[in-house]
Amino acid sequence: MLDFFTIFSKGGLVLWCFQGVSDSCTGPVNALIRSVLLQERGGNNSFTHEALTLKYKLDNQFELVFVVGFQKILTLTYVDKLIDDVHRLFRDKYRTEIQQQSALSLLNGTFDFQNDFLRLLREAEESSKIRAPTTMKKFEDSEKAKKPVRSMIETRGEKPKEKAKNSKKKGAKKESSDGSLATSKAVPAEKSGLPVGPEHGVELSKEELIRRKREEFIQKHGRGLEKSSKSTKSDAPKEKGKKAPRVWALGGCANKEVLDYSTPTTNGAPEVAPPEDINLIRGTGPGGQLQDLDCSSSDDEVTTQNATKPSATKGTLGGMFGMLKGLVGSKSLSREDMESVLDKMRDHLIAKNVAADIAVQLCESVANKLEGKVMGTFSTVTSTVKQALQESLVQILQPQRRVDMLRDIMDAQRHQRPYVVTFCGVNGVGKSTNLAKISFWLLENGFSVLIAACDTFRAGAVEQLRTHTRRLSALHPPENHGGRTMVQLFEKGYGKDAAGIAMEAIAFARNQGFDVVLVDTAGRMQDNAPLMTALAKLITVNTPDLVLFVGEALVGNEAVDQLVKFNRALADHSMAQTPRLIDGIVLTKFDTIDDKVGAAISMTYITSKPIVFVGTGQTYCDLRSLNAKAVVAALMKA
């Protein structure tokens, strides 16, 4: 039933292995190490690799990993119990060899664990088969049988009152229907102020007393309200008057000359924008070199590192962890020791805009990483957990694949083909604006760019790209590059097939010798099936070198939903056998979130893809590369 069971150290030494089938377990175990253990994604103890399901357990005290693999179509209920039993027996049996903590002793040690493992496997399989027979529940034990008795006991004393009230209401209705003269006489008597009450020999019911008090309250306080409402009504017509004429920005009237915002043309070509406007749009700073993202809390990183030293003062650990410090004298950490710290940590991450599910998985991963780890004499639970979380966050923000566009573009140049980048994302996140920023960055590095206007749905999308192209051309005119056009727009108008336009743009770039093709697509929600199908078609037909998802840093839990559904839609609607998914992320509007940088963690954790660019403003130079340590410092800031 099991494909394999292996025990290895965190240093990579295989101590013992059981093979249930002829296939090697090297590939699945290496995938587990790369995708889960090295990427700090240990919140869930299960991992799927192709047709196998792998379950693992970490022993942080002796730095061991226990992994079992089986076919994912099987439902084996005894696997968790088997891992626990093997972990307990192996640790107790070979405690001396493992505690030496040297690779040579582990290599020379003999771990004859085959017979013990087969015995534990047989016991686990038999325990899963021997189950107590399920007995059907009797009707007397069900909630339905208890409900009438319970309701009778609870409402026994209330039913006579309800009947009495109903009888009173019915009697009042009968009286009102039988004698209309009595009611007509009763109302004037109350209004005229006749003596009515128990002291005058007239008994009033509870409902009548409440109604009478309500009328007295309205008579006392309602007059002032009526006067104020009358005064406001009387003043309202006085305030009404003729509508004020609109004041235009140029001080003129509404004529065609003022309202005409179309660009004037000279000899059929659009007029070049003034140089002062171009310099304002360009921004300040080097355009050809991406600067690291600088968070406001980057200076606090040094203080948080110094706070973990024994000589640190009492309040240097920050407000988030200040109340949870406690010395742990040379003992192993347990879940109970870390529970209060992890709860506070999870709430802090959610407050920093990390998705709730991601925050829970991160805390669970840290707990699995530290459970059973032996602490030093002067170490605190808070400082240890905080340091482990910081290391996990930095590791998450540095995924296994790094995107280097400049290197890939030069490689495409050697093969004499354009490098194609496709931008996708939801509506209003800044795809076209950040496409223009990346175009400016490529132009500053000496690459020619062709912008493909494949957003044929949104009104004004082509005009927006045309404006960016005109301004980029003014910043890099052909005269400065030997008469070579460095940036050009390829568009076919609106209502056309986006995949066809992208294909024509790539062919045009190949013929004209452009280095890079940037494909702008229409914004679409992740639940819109027709638009997601069109996006999958565009990516499948044109096979771009890089697919960038553009997301804004303002989102919280929505980031998880967007990325998961985008990847799922691209996989479902793709016609290829191995569908093309998102390769990287462009995080926009980063300058609007202060230190709530949790969206970067959520997006990277879900996709395991790097954040290639970060947008920090509205000028062409406001493009940064992600600085993982600065982001983590801002995230951990109290």
Query: Where residue 308 falls among pLDDT bands split at 50, 70, 90?
Result: very low
pLDDT at 273 over 70: no
**What is the predicted pLDDT for the residue at 388?**
87
Cα(611)–Cα(628) distance, integer angstroms? 10
Lowest mean pLDDT among 53-57, 211-215, 240-244, 474-478: 240-244
Torsion region of 272: left, alpha or beta (phi above 0 gives left; psi -120 to 50 gives alpha): beta
What are the Cα distances from residue 468, in Å, to 432, 460, 471, 622, 624? 9, 12, 5, 15, 19
Cα(587)–Cα(593) distance, integer angstroms? 12
**What is the average pLDDT across 123-132?**
76
**What is the predicted pLDDT for the residue at 148?**
57
Lowest mean pLDDT among 20-29, 304-313, 421-430, 599-608: 304-313
CA torsion through residues 295, 297, 299, 304, sign: negative
Give the pLDDT confidence of 414-436 residue by residue, as tens digits.
999 999 999 999 998 999 999 99
Cα(236)–Cα(363) distance, integer angstroms? 60
State the average pLDDT for the chain.
76
**What is the average pLDDT across 103-127?**
79
CA dihedral 177, 178, 179, 183 (to 10 degrees): -30
- 64: three-class secondary structure by DSSP: strand
Question: What count of Cα atoms within 13 Å lies in the side-chain half-sphere of residue 2?
Answer: 24
**What is the predicted pLDDT for the residue at 314?**
40
Query: Where residue 204 falls among pLDDT bands split at 50, 70, 90?
Result: low
pLDDT at 128 over 80: no
Enclosing H/E stretch for 28:
helix 26-32
Cα(402)–Cα(608) distance, integer angstroms? 11
Cα(162)–Cα(169) distance, integer angstroms? 10
Instruction: Name which residue leads in pLDDT, 51 or 266.
Output: 51
**What is the predicted pLDDT for the residue at 326?**
45
The closest alpha carbon to 453, from 501, 504, 515, belongs to: 501
Domain 405-628 has CATH 3.40.50.300: yes
Give the pLDDT confidence of 323-344 residue by residue, as tens digits.
444 444 456 788 888 888 999 9
Give the pLDDT confidence of 540-590 residue by residue, as tens digits.
899 999 999 999 888 877 877 888 888 888 888 777 777 888 999 999 998
Query: Where residue 530 falls among pLDDT bands split at 50, 70, 90?
Result: confident
Candidate CATH numbers 3.30.70.3270, 3.30.450.60, 1.10.10.10, 3.90.1200.10; the one for domain 4-127 = 3.30.450.60
Query: Where residue 395 falls among pLDDT bands split at 50, 70, 90?
Result: confident
Instruction: Name which residue leads in pLDDT, 623 or 560.
Output: 623
pLDDT at 106 over 80: no
Query: Sheet holding 546-552: strands in order across?
Result: 291-292, 623-625, 611-615, 584-588, 546-552, 419-424, 516-520, 449-453, 487-490
Residue environment code for 4-18, b if the CB has 16+ CB neighbours within 10 A, otherwise e: bbbbbbeeeeebbbb
Instruction: Name which residue leads in pLDDT, 504 or 278.
Output: 504
Domain boundaries for CATH 3.40.50.300 within the chain: 405-628
**What is the predicted pLDDT for the residue at 149?**
52
Of all residues in the chain, what percent carry a pLDDT higher than 90?
22
Instruction: Name which residue leads in pLDDT, 375 or 363.
Output: 363
Cα(46)–Cα(64) distance, integer angstroms? 17
Task: Show the beta-strand stretches assigned E in 200-290.
Answer: 265-266, 269-270
**What is the predicted pLDDT for the residue at 297?**
44
Tokens found for residue 592: 């609007």
Query: Where residue 413 falls among pLDDT bands split at 50, 70, 90?
Result: very high
Residue environment code for 61-73, b if the CB has 16+ CB neighbours within 10 A, otherwise e: ebebbbbbbbeee
For helices 628-636 and 598-607, angle between their N-to-C axes, nearest 10 degrees: 120
**What is the average pLDDT across 184-198?**
45
Instruction: Name which residue leads in pLDDT, 459 or 102.
Output: 459
The closest alpha carbon to 12, from 86, 106, 143, 135, belongs to: 106
Of all residues in the chain, what percent carry a pLDDT higher than 70?
70
Query: Where residue 285 falls among pLDDT bands split at 50, 70, 90?
Result: low
**What is the predicted pLDDT for the residue at 155?**
47
Query: Where residue 164 falls among pLDDT bands split at 50, 70, 90?
Result: very low
Instruction: Name which residue leads in pLDDT, 274 or 588.
Output: 588
Helix residue ranges, H only, 240-334: 256-259, 275-282, 300-306
**Identity at 22, one-letter amino acid code:** S
Domain boundaries for CATH 3.30.450.60 within the chain: 4-127
pLDDT at 166 over 80: no
pLDDT at 300 over 50: no
Highest mean pLDDT among 245-249, 437-441, 576-580, 603-607: 437-441
Phi and psi at residue 182, to the nearest 5°: -65, -40
Cα(425)–Cα(548) distance, integer angstroms? 8
pLDDT at 595 over 60: yes
**What is the predicted pLDDT for the residue at 59?**
85
Give the pLDDT confidence of 29-55 residue by residue, as tens digits.
888 888 888 777 766 778 888 888 999
Q: Any idea which residue has 């096979």 for tokens? A: 543
Cβ pair 59, 66 in contact under 8 A: yes
